């Protein structure tokens, strides 16, 4: 059967106002194989030409949205930075740990089968780094929820984020990333920079996969996954 004649895959998105979430929305424009539904705490402009819904409610109500929308997959691009959290560990964990896990649990309870979660390269529950330890803890807990399919995305330094949102060390890293990428070989390849648009393409492509299991994707795997997303022209009516 022609893919253009098939029912579109219903995908929910949380974190639509962030860098990767906004790229996911852009990529969904014009696709007949995907029906994207964004769930957010506040309104956000939709990309030009978007034919999608955005539900705005408090996180405590997101489970009700999932139950009403019945998505097959959820792309979770939630996250903040130490700076945006006011350099307060409790505020930081409230988003990157608590909100991510609460959202995943609500999705699982609503019958969502697949979860694509954006984490970070170097994520490790035993790390001494606050950010990487939190990401590792979240990955561990997501695995316990037993989604039919769980994809953990571990991108390196994201390209495309507004410089004003970056911490000084991240801003410096962004400027130096072309040179740094060349120097990162072998096991250090995972730390190379990667465009947010590529991560978003990978997220959609992975959300469309039916095979069950738990999968972790570093930069190279994200590039491969992004390349499997069918071209828009193949699904334009």
Active site residue 210: no
CATH code, domain with 162: 3.40.50.720
Q: What is the per-residue pLDDT across 50-65, written as a single tens digit (0 to 9) for each?
A: 889 999 999 999 999 9
The pLDDT assigned to 165 comes to: 53
Question: Per the residue annotation, which of 26, 61, 108, 135 is the catalytic one?
Answer: 135
Could you tell me the residue range of the domain that residue 64 belongs to? 3-234
Q: What is the per-residue pLDDT across 106-155, written as a single tens digit (0 to 9) for each?
A: 999 999 999 999 999 999 999 999 999 999 999 999 999 999 999 999 99
Count of other CB atoms within 10 angstroms of residue 98: 13
The pLDDT assigned to 231 comes to: 85
Active site residue 131: yes
**Count of domains forming the chain:** 1
Question: Per the residue annotation, which of 26, 61, 131, 159 is the catalytic one?
Answer: 131
Let me know: does 8 contact 35? Beta carbons within 8 Å.
Answer: yes
How far apart are the two ends of the chain, measured CA to CA in Å?
A: 15
Residue predicted with more confidence, 164 or 99: 99
Q: What is the per-residue pLDDT across 151-184, written as a single tens digit (0 to 9) for each?
A: 999 999 898 755 445 555 455 555 555 555 544 5
Q: What is the per-residue pLDDT across 181-209, written as a single tens digit (0 to 9) for each?
A: 544 556 656 667 899 999 999 999 999 99
- Beta strand 53-56 with 114-118 is unpaired
pTM for this structure? 0.87
Residue predicted with more confidence, 30 or 174: 30
Beta-bridged to residue 53, according to DSSP, are 37
Catalogue the E-assigned strands of 125-181.
149-153, 158-159
The pLDDT assigned to 4 comes to: 44
């Amino acid at each position: 059967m022609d893919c253009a004649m098939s029912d579109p895959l219903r995908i929910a998105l949380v974190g639509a106002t962030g860098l990767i979430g906004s790229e996911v929305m852009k990529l969904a424009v014009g696709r007949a194989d995907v029906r994207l539904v964004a769930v957010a705490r506040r309104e956000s402009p939709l990309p030009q030409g978007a034919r999608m819904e955005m539900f705005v409610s408090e996180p405590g109500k997101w489970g009700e949205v999932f139950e009403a929308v019945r998505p097959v997959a959820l792309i979770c691009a939630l996250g903040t930075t130490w700076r945006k959290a006011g350099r307060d560990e409790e505020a930081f964990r409230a988003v990157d740990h608590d909100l991510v896990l609460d959202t995943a649990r609500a999705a699982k309870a609503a019958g969502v089968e697949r979860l694509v979660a954006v984490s970070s390269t170097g994520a490790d529950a035993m790390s001494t780094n606050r950010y990487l330890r939190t990401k590792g803890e979240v990955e561990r807990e997501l695995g316990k929820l037993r989604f039919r399919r769980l994809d953990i995305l571990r991108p390196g330094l994201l390209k495309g984020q507004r410089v004003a949102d970056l911490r000084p060390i991240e801003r410096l890293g962004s400027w130096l990333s072309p040179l740094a990428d060349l120097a990162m070989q072998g096991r250090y390849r995972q730390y190379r920079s990667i465009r947010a648009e590529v991560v978003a393409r990978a997220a959609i492509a992975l959300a469309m996969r039916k095979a069950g299991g738990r999968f972790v994707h570093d930069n190279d795997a994200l590039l491969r996954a992004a390349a499997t997303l069918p071209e828009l022209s193949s699904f334009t009516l």
